[in-house]
Every structure is written in structure tokens, then in C-alpha cells.
Amino acid sequence: MKHFINDRSDVVTEAIDAAILLGEGKLARLDGYPSIKVVIRADWDRSRVAIVSGGGAGHEPAHVGFVGEGLLTAAVCGEIFASPSVDAVLAAILAVTGDEGCLLVVKNYTGDRLNFGLAAERARAMGLDVETVIVADDIAIAHATRPRGLAGTLFVHKVAGHLARSGAPLRAVKEGAERVASAARSLGISLSSCTIPGQPAENRIGPHEVELGLGIHGEPGAEKMAYGPILELARTMAKRLDVALGDDKRPLALLINDLGGVPPIEMAVATRALLSELKREVALVFGPERLMTSLDMKGLSVSVLPVDDDLVLALRSEVGPRAWPPGRVPANVAPWPLSARMDKATHAPSTHVVHRRALETICTTLIALEVELDALDAKIGDGDTGSTFATAARALATDLDRLPLAEPAALCASIAERLSTVMGGSSGILLSIGVAAMGASLGASASHDAPAWAAALREGLRRIEQYGGAREGDRTMLDALVPAAMALQQGKALAQAAEAAKRGADRTATMASARAGRASYVPESALCGVCDPGAAAMAAVFAALAALD
């Protein structure tokens, strides 16, 4: 397994260095580094209760990412998934604790409890006012004597940080933190285990399995389940969280945590599933975000907290660290209606001998060329140019009696709509764009005579160039269309335009490279002497129209 690291022994310290460098002067680290890895607020003045938490690395942005105004005063870091030392915890306490005291927020793991606990006792022996709150929000193992501390710990950080910033005394800060810690419930689920930098990957979860109730240190989950749609997995999680909440029917704050390896779009799908399956009122949603990760684990955890007005205020108060997401109120907003202009315009059929004859000629020509154009395209592409044009021509020919033939602008709009529906590939969309632009140009014109049609054709080609990205000389149908349009705009006869289209199409056989379409992937040796099929089709159409005059 490859990782973006230098030496595995330096991963944690180098990550902390990066956090300090990007902390905009608001973060500092204690001396004694790297043996003592403690990040503190650089602006801390000890005038309020300090909030200290921490644990092993590998859970980023927890815990360093939450050091700042309104959250943690200091984060104590261990190596990856390893509790920080007693000396490191004590150093943090001594650095940030003033007369108002210090609250330690500790996740319920043996190493964290012991090391933070002993450090607290040493600090108290020095005369400091230090209190501890243990967070055990994991519900994975029913009736567990020591549930683990998971991402629900972040709710505790937020409420404690809010109370401390508000000037509450240590006793009140601790009571608020304990209230949150006792009410928060969390449950995790994962599709893969995590990989520790510098160590081989473990693959204990089978391709048709998921783990439910895993921790944040790569340890196995409480049970394995059959892999299935996230809606089914979310239903299972929601039911277990509901049971764990018991009779507390208050609205919930919901924290949706990416454990490190879930793509944002999958987290969004999971969030939708969870919100649909939770049968309780959700007042606030935090996430989906990477908040307390387990390195690169492809999993997520859900934390719920019943809230009242005071807790909502504490959870939504602004903080300095950017890693903390703002709480959002979920909303069921009715969709806005589509614009009436999206309704496909219906134009009354009308007759026009000249226009009908021209369309019949175009359709007949393209249908007759199907096999020839497919064979030509097979030399440089996927062999379907003739079929694509012929399919559109047959559909249009069938529809002639329903077209507004006497209204040029409406006629172009109707044809463009049909092309976008029945003609496949990029050529269908491009021609639809071009014909639609012709209709818009004709609609603004006072007349629909030959000069107006010539100007409309040039406008349609300009739009094709704009959206398609090709120009004359790029070995496309534009090599026939552009010369023909220019001839018409110069007042030349249709026969002369057809000659210009033919010369343009023939030139494509001498072009050594293509800069658009599938032919752009074909080597020069395959292109030499082969006319572009789209250009050949357009030249044939102009020749057929010229023969009508």
C-alpha cells in the first residue's frame, strides 16, 4: 500500500507542523516537541475555563483541527491510534489552566482514561482545578460495560467550548458536558478496514459484507452484515439508534461523520437515506463531513443528541476552527415548477411547396447515402455516420405533414427539436443547435427571403462552432458548410454554394489530422485520402438542393 509520507515515524509530527503552518498564527505547539505533542491556542490568556481533549492521531481533523475559539483550548496528540503520554497531557494542562480551571474531555478507551486520569491527579496535586468528563457514546455492543468514545465526543467539545467562552464556571461547564456525554449516541458502519501508513493493509471485510459497530482505531465491528443498498443499512442503524435513545423524544442533533474514505457523493446518498429512515424529528444536521476519521476507512458514523433550545444555541454558536461544520436545519422544500417555456412548443401544421420540396430532397438524399457514408466513416471512425443521418432523415420525412412549413422560424424550431430527439451522437446535438439558432435568427428578421436564410445559416454555423469547438479546417462537416454559407451570404447562387461545399469536403481528404470528433484519435496514415463523412453528407445535400433550381 502506497502512502504520501516520508518516514512512518514522522507522519504525526509532520502533520502537526502543517496544521501550525496553516493556522494563521492562531495555533502553537508546546516545547518538548516531538516527545510532547500538544497544540494550543496561541491567543489563550487563561481567563476562562480551558477545554482540553485529545488522543491518538489518525482521526483528523480531530483533535488538532478543533483547537480554537469556542472549541478546544488544547489538543494532546499521541502517535497513530496510540494514547498520548501522561507527561504530554500534564504539559497541556499546565500550559492552559488558570484560576478558572480546566475540563478534560476523554474518550472511553483504557489508555486515554488512565493517562488523562493520572495527569489530572498530578495537576490537582499541584493545586490546579481540573475536572474530567468521560465520553462513551458507542451503542454497538448492547449492555457493554465500557462503551467506546466515538464522534459523539465532538458534541461534548462544542457545548463545553461554548459554555467556557460564555464565561461559565468550571462546575457549570462540566455539568453541561456531562449532560451531553450521557445523552449522545453513536453507531458506525464500514465497507473496509483502514490502512496504517507504513504497514500492510488488512482486508478482513469480505466483498459482500459490511461491519456494523466498528470503532475508530481499525478494530473489528460488533457484527458483520450482508452488504446491500445504503437505504437498508441506514434503516438498521436508525432502528438501533432509536432503541438506544429510549423514551427521550426531544428533537435530535445529527452528526454524520465520514470515517475517511467515502467519496462525497456517497456520503450525500447516505445522508439522504439516514434522514429518511430516522423516525424522530431532526432539528440540526452537522455534516456530512470528515470530523473524527479512522485514517482511510471507507465507513461512516452517525451520532445523535436530543436537544433543547439551550443545546441548539450552544451547538450553533460560531467558532474559530474551520473544521467544525455549521449546523443546518433540514428542510423539505417543494420543487419549483418548470418554466412554461420548457413545454415543447406546438405549432399548427401548415403548407409551403418550396420548403416541403427542399426538406423532402434533404431527407431522400441522406437516406440514399446511408451505406456509402457508413463505409466511409468505418475507415476513420465507428462506421455510423450514414446510419445517424439516415435515421434522422426518416423521422423527419415521416413528420412532414405535421410541420409548420409556412413559418420559417417555427419550422426551424420544430426541426431542431426533432433532431435533438431522434438523431444520436454529437452531430445530432450540433445540428439541432445550429438549426435552432437559424430559427432564432429568422424570427428576428423582417423577411424570410434568400438573404435572410443565408444570414440564418451563418448564425447557425457560428453557434455550432461556439459549442462544438471546431472550425473550418478541423476536418468536420463545417469544412463543407462554412464555404457554402459564405457563398450564399455573398449573393451567389445555390449551385455555386454547392460547388464550394464540394471543394471543402474534398479538401478534408488531404488533411493529415483532425482536431475534433472521433477522427481526432486516428493516426495520420488512416486519414490520408479519406473524405470526412460529415462533410461529404453536407456537400451531397447542397448538390441535391442546387439540382432543384
Give me the active site residues, please. Answer: 217
- Please tell me which residue, 343 or 205, carries the higher pLDDT value: 205
Q: How many Å apart are CA 287 and CA 337, to the nearest integer?
A: 29
pLDDT at 524: 52
236 and 250, same domain (yes or no): yes
Q: Is the pLDDT of residue 123 over 70?
A: yes
Its pTM stands at 0.79
Highest mean predicted confidence (pLDDT) among 2-6, 157-161, 404-408: 157-161
Asked if the peptide bond before residue 352 counts as cis, ω within 30 degrees of 0, the response is no
Which cell numbers hold the place of 186? Answer: 453513536
Give the tens place of pLDDT for each residue, 407-421: 999 999 999 999 988
Q: Percent of the chain scored above 70 by pLDDT?
A: 95
412 and 397, same domain (yes or no): yes
Q: Is the pLDDT of residue 121 over 90?
A: yes
For 75, the enclosing helix (H) or strand (E) is: strand 74-80
pLDDT at 95: 98
Average pLDDT, integer, range 78-99: 97
What average pLDDT is seen over the chain? Answer: 93
85 and 232, same domain (yes or no): no
Q: Is the pLDDT of residue 186 over 50?
A: yes
Q: Sorting pLDDT into bands at 50, 70 and 90, what band is 352?
A: very high
90 and 215, same domain (yes or no): no
402 is a domain residue: yes
64 and 133, same domain (yes or no): yes
332 is a domain residue: no
Q: How many Å apart are CA 119 and CA 91, to the nearest integer?
A: 9
- Which residue(s) pair with 304 in the sheet? 185, 254
pLDDT at 370: 96
Q: Percent of the chain scored above 90 by pLDDT?
A: 82
3-state secondary structure 416-440: HHHHHHHCCHHHHHHHHHHHHHHHH
Alpha-carbon torsion angle 164, 169, 171, 174, nearest 10: 0
Asked if the peptide bond before residue 288 counts as cis, ω within 30 degrees of 0, the response is yes
Which cell numbers hold the place of 548? Answer: 432543384
pLDDT at 519: 47
Q: Is the pLDDT of residue 426 over 60?
A: yes
Give the tens place of pLDDT for each residue, 434-474: 999 999 999 866 567 889 999 999 999 999 999 999 999 98
Q: Angle CA(151)–CA(66)–CA(331) in degrees, nearest 5? A: 60
249 is a domain residue: yes
For 159, the enclosing helix (H) or strand (E) is: helix 153-165
* Residue 217's CATH number: 3.30.1180.20
pLDDT at 454: 94
pLDDT at 126: 98
| DSSP string computed for 479-531 | HHHHHHHHHHHTT--HHHHHHHHHHHHHHGGG-S--SSSGGGGS-HHHHTT--
334 is a domain residue: no
Average pLDDT, integer, range 494-503: 96
- Residue 491, class by beta-carbon neighbours within 10 Å (0-12 exposed, 13-18 middle, 19+ buried)? exposed
pLDDT at 435: 96
175 and 236, same domain (yes or no): no
pLDDT at 279: 92
Average pLDDT, integer, range 26-54: 96
- The answer to whether 143 and 243 are in contact (CB under 8 A) is no
Q: Sorting pLDDT into bands at 50, 70 and 90, what band is 339?
A: confident
Give the tens place of pLDDT for each residue, 308-328: 999 999 999 999 999 999 999
Q: Which of 256-265, 273-282, 326-335, 512-521 has the lowest mean pLDDT?
A: 512-521
- The answer to whether 497 and 487 are in contact (CB under 8 A) is yes
Q: Which of these three, 141, 160, 181, is where a domain ends? A: 181
- The answer to whether 81 and 293 are in contact (CB under 8 A) is no
Q: Which of 137-146, 167-176, 248-257, 299-308 has the lowest mean pLDDT?
A: 137-146
177 and 206, same domain (yes or no): no
Which cell numbers hold the place of 104? Answer: 478534560
Q: How many Å apart are CA 165 and CA 463, to the nearest integer?
A: 59
- Please tell me which residue, 316 or 219, carries the higher pLDDT value: 316
- Please tell me which residue, 437 or 378, carries the higher pLDDT value: 437
219 and 256, same domain (yes or no): yes
Asked if the peptide bond before residue 34 counts as cis, ω within 30 degrees of 0, the response is yes
Give the tens place of pLDDT for each residue, 517-545: 544 444 454 557 678 999 999 999 999 99
Average pLDDT, integer, range 209-219: 91
pLDDT at 523: 46
388 and 263, same domain (yes or no): no
Number of structural domains found in the chain: 3
Q: Angle CA(150)–CA(152)–CA(156) in degrees, nearest 5? A: 120
Q: Which of 250, 272, 209, 237 is nearest to 139 (CA)?
A: 237
358 and 498, same domain (yes or no): yes
Which cell numbers hold the place of 251? Answer: 428533537
pLDDT at 541: 97
pLDDT at 319: 97
Q: Is the pLDDT of residue 298 over 90?
A: yes
144 and 202, same domain (yes or no): no
Which cell numbers hold the place of 120? Answer: 489530572
- Determine the structural domain holding residue 243 and report its residue range: 185-316
Give the tens place of pLDDT for each residue, 233-270: 999 999 999 999 999 999 999 999 999 999 999 999 99
193 and 177, same domain (yes or no): no
pLDDT at 518: 47
* Residue 449's CATH number: 1.25.40.340
Which cell numbers hold the place of 547? Answer: 439540382
